[in-house]
Amino acid sequence: MDTIHCVPLSFPHMVDSRSDWRTTDRGADLVIRRLIIAIEYAIVVSLLIVASVVLVRALVTFFSHWGTFPQTVVAAIDSILVVIILLDLAHTVFGNLRSFIFPVRPFLVIGILAGVRDILSESAHLTLSTSLTQTDFKDTLLSLGVGVGVVLALILGLFILRFSGSNPEGESY
């Protein structure tokens, strides 16, 4: 009869968290990890710069075009929602730098914000347009319907995530 030997599936040199990196990093691994972290920080800084530029341009445009007030209000709200989306992305990427957990919830929220932004833009387009062809009207309504469907699907995803029982970061939904 042959003897079966069991071999452990984990070895001492395997790492499970960032706190273990300091003791196991060597050579190319250390360089690649630090390069990835530097790129992630560059992404966060880039998102913050773009958000700042969008916000400043929105305010300048809003205050300099009083003659077309309804359109400038819609454009300002649209730009502010873009800034909120960019800041949420920056926050999510920055949060990823501090942990190995891939956060799903922030991406669902970002998608919901983007969908609401599109719905508001299309609604404003319908409201403020003086002349719409039949085709433009149908396309706008179709776009509104798709936007509402996407937002509802993402909200459903948020509810599924909330009631699934997986809440690794102790976040409130």
Q: pLDDT digit string (tens) for 78-102? A: 899 899 989 988 888 777 766 766 6
Closest by CA to 92, choosing from 147, 10, 3, 171, is 171
- For residue 140, tell me if it sits in a domain: yes
Q: Could you give the CA distance from residue 173 to residue 169 in angstroms, rounded to a whole number?
A: 11
- For residue 67, tell me if it sits in a domain: yes
83 DSSP 8-state letter: H
pLDDT at residue 36 in the model: 85
- For residue 64, tell me if it sits in a domain: yes
- For residue 73, tell me if it sits in a domain: yes
State how many domains the chain has. 1
- For residue 84, tell me if it sits in a domain: yes
User: Is residue 122's pLDDT more than 80?
Assistant: yes
- For residue 133, tell me if it sits in a domain: yes
The two three-digit tokens of residue 77, written as one number: 């709200």
Helical packing angle, 105-128 and 134-163, nearest 10° = 160
Average pLDDT value for the chain: 79
pTM of the model: 0.65
pLDDT at residue 168 in the model: 53
Q: Could you give the CA distance from residue 169 to residue 101 in angstroms, rounded to a whole number?
A: 8
Contact of 54 with 85, CB cutoff 8 Å? no
10 DSSP 8-state letter: -
Whole domain around residue 79: which residue ranges?
A: 28-163
20-49 residue pLDDT tens: 545 455 778 888 888 988 888 898 899 999
- For residue 90, tell me if it sits in a domain: yes
Q: Could you give the CA distance from residue 55 to residue 77 in angstroms, rounded to a whole number?
A: 10
Q: Could you give the CA distance from residue 161 to residue 129 in angstroms, rounded to a whole number?
A: 39
- For residue 16, tell me if it sits in a domain: no
Closest by CA to 20, choosing from 12, 9, 28, is 12
Residue owning tokens 């800041």:
87
